[in-house]
Structure 1
C-alpha cells in the first residue's frame, strides 16, 4: 500500500480525503455506511456562536450535474455543540474538525475560542464564504480586507490549525488567499459553492425560498480545479481542494493541481460510502503507477 499520509501545518492526516462541512452531519450519521476511522478528516456542519434557524423551505433544488442549496447554517450554536455533540464524537479515530462561522470578526473569534477548549478537536475551518446568510458569511470572503479581519481576530484566540474556507464568488481568489496567509491562516480550503438560481416555470417563481443558493456538485469541478491551481501557486501554506469531487480520479486531479488534501461534499448524498472508495481509489492509482507516496503527485502539474 502506498503512503497516503499528508500534513496541513501540524495536522497529520492518515490520508488526504476529508468530508465537506454540511454534507456529512457530525460523522455519526454515516457510521453505518463507512468506517469513519478510514477518513482523513471529518469537517462537521457549520457552527455559530448563537443558534441559527436557517432559511425557510424550500432550500434544496437539483440542477444539471449538481444541486443548489440555501440551508443558511442551521445549527444549535457552539454551546450546544460543546455540551452535547462533542462528547459523542471526541473518540472517533480521525481528525474531527469544526466549521466555524459568524456575522462579525468578534463572533467568529468567540466561537473559535470555545472550540479551542476541546482537546479532541485539532483544527477548525473558518467559513468566510457561505452565500446563504443575510449577514456575515460570504460578505467577509469577497474582499481582502474582510477576509483579513476575520482571520486576524480568530488567530488571536485560536492556536491550533486554522483552515480558512474561501468563496469562488470573487474577482481574484488568489488575492484573498494571500490576505488570509498574511494574517496567520495555516491553510485555505476552496471552493465553497458558486452563486446560482433555479426557476420553476409552472409556478413562475424561484425554486429556492431566498431565490438564490450555492451550486455544488460535478458542475463546479472545472472552476474549482482552476482556482485551486491558481491559489496553490500564490501561497506557501497548504491548500485543501473541493468542488465536485465524486471519485478517485477527481481527487487526484485536485492533488496534481496543488491540493494537499481534498474534501468530498455533494457526492456523500449520492453514495454515503464514497469517501472510503475515493481513498482506496487513490491508493490503487498510486500502486498502479509505481508511486510510493501520495505527496509525490501533489502539485505535479506546473
Structure 2
C-alpha cells in the first residue's frame, strides 16, 4: 500500500506524525539533537517554564523504582524571559511545532507567562501544567479542583492567542470532572497523564530518599493507569488528547491511540533510549502498513467500538 498518513492535529497544532516529547524529559530540544533529527518528530514539548527562574527542589531528586523513576526536580528552569532570549531563536529554526509547558504559583503567573510567550513568536502552542500548588489556596494543586483548573485555563486563553493544551493530573478522584471543566473553560486540547505522586524510603538511614520526600512516578509502571485515564477522558469530552505515561514502544503508543489519544508523548523512555521517539514513529507506520490502515486518525478511539 502507499505510505499511510501519520499527520494529526491537536487543537490547532499540526503535527506530521503523532509522536511528541513529554515536558521535562527532553530539555529545550538541543540536548537531544545529537541523537535524533528533531525535525522528524511530530512536535517538541519543552521543559516547564515559569515567570521567574526556579532553582528546583533539594537533592536527591531522582530515585529509580521497579519499572520507573520518581522525580522531584521542582520545575527548575531559567524563567520565561531567559527562554525567550536564548531558546526561542532556536525554536524558530525548527521545522516542527514547539509547544512550551508553563507553570505558575498563581493564576496571574500563568497568564503573564502565556502572554510573554505568545508575543515572542516561534511557538506553536502552550501546555498548561495544572499540577502546581496554588500558593493563594494553601498549596492545593490547581489540577485537583475542577473550578481552579478552569480558572487557570480561562486566564491563559485570555492572555494568549496560541492553542492551549491542558495537562491533567492523575492525582484526583475523578479526572473526567477536571477534563470537562477545562474543556468548558476553552481548552483546545488535553494531555494526560502527569506523574503519579509517590515516595521511597532508604531502609538504612530510615529516611525518605528524595529531598522533597515525595515525587512524581513515571515510566512503564504507570502505563495502565494512563491508558485508563485516556479512555475515560475520551468518552467524556470532545477534545484532542495527547496521551502519555510509560510509553516505551510503538505498541505502547498504539494502546493510547486506540484508547482515544490523537497523539502521544514519550518521556522517561528518552532517558533509557534517546532514540525512542524515532523507533516509535517507525513502529506506528509499520503497524499501519501491516494492517492496511491508510490514516492513523482511523485508529483514534477505535477500542471503544464507535
Assess if the C-alpha contact under 8 Å between 2:60 and 2:210 holds in 1. yes
Structure 1 SS opposite 2:233: helix
Q: Could you give the per-residue CA deviations for residues 129-171 of structure 1, whole angstroms, max 9, x where no partner exists?
A: 24xx684887100011110110111111111210000100000
Q: Could you give the per-residue CA deviations for residues 156-187 of structure 1, whole angstroms, max 9, x where no partner exists?
A: 11112100001000000000000000010000
Q: For 2:246 and 2:95, how far apart are their aligned partners in 1?
A: 26
Structure 2 SS opposite 1:15: coil
Question: 1:148 and 2:153 equivalent?
Answer: no
Assess if the C-alpha contact under 8 Å between 2:106 and 2:134 holds in 1. no
In the TM superposition, what are the counterparts of 1:1-302 in structure 2 within 5 Å? Answer: 1-130=3-132, 135=135, 139-302=141-304
Q: Could you give the per-residue CA deviations for residues 103-132 of structure 1, whole angstroms, max 9, x where no partner exists?
A: 1111000000000012220101000024xx
Structure 2 SS opposite 1:68: strand
Structure 2 SS opposite 1:156: helix
Change (3 A) 1:273 1:249: same
Structure 2 SS opposite 1:126: strand
Q: For 2:188 and 2:107, how far apart are their aligned partners in 1?
A: 18
Q: For 1:196 and 1:135, how far apart are their aligned partners in 2?
A: 21
Assess if the C-alpha contact under 8 Å between 1:128 and 1:138 holds in 2. no
Q: Could you give the per-residue CA deviations for residues 242-283 of structure 1, whole angstroms, max 9, x where no partner exists?
A: 000000000000000000101000000000011011000000
Gaps of 5+ in 2: none
Q: For 2:205 and 2:76, how far apart are their aligned partners in 1?
A: 27
Q: For 1:72 and 1:265, how far apart are their aligned partners in 2?
A: 17
Q: For 1:200 and 1:9, how far apart are their aligned partners in 2?
A: 44
Q: What is the alpha-carbon root mean square deviation over aligned residues?
A: 1.2
Moved more, 243-252 or 6-15: 6-15
How many residue pairs are counted as aligned between the two chains?
Answer: 300
Q: For 1:300 and 1:212, how far apart are their aligned partners in 2?
A: 37
Q: For 2:112 and 2:134, how far apart are their aligned partners in 1?
A: 20
Assess if the C-alpha contact under 8 Å between 1:28 and 1:89 holds in 2. no
Assess if the C-alpha contact under 8 Å between 1:129 and 1:138 holds in 2. no
Q: For 1:87 and 1:11, how far apart are their aligned partners in 2?
A: 19
Assess if the C-alpha contact under 8 Å between 1:6 and 1:12 holds in 2. yes
Q: How far apart are residue 57 of structure 1 and its match? A: 0.6
Change (3 A) 1:84 1:138: farther
Gaps of 5+ in 1: none
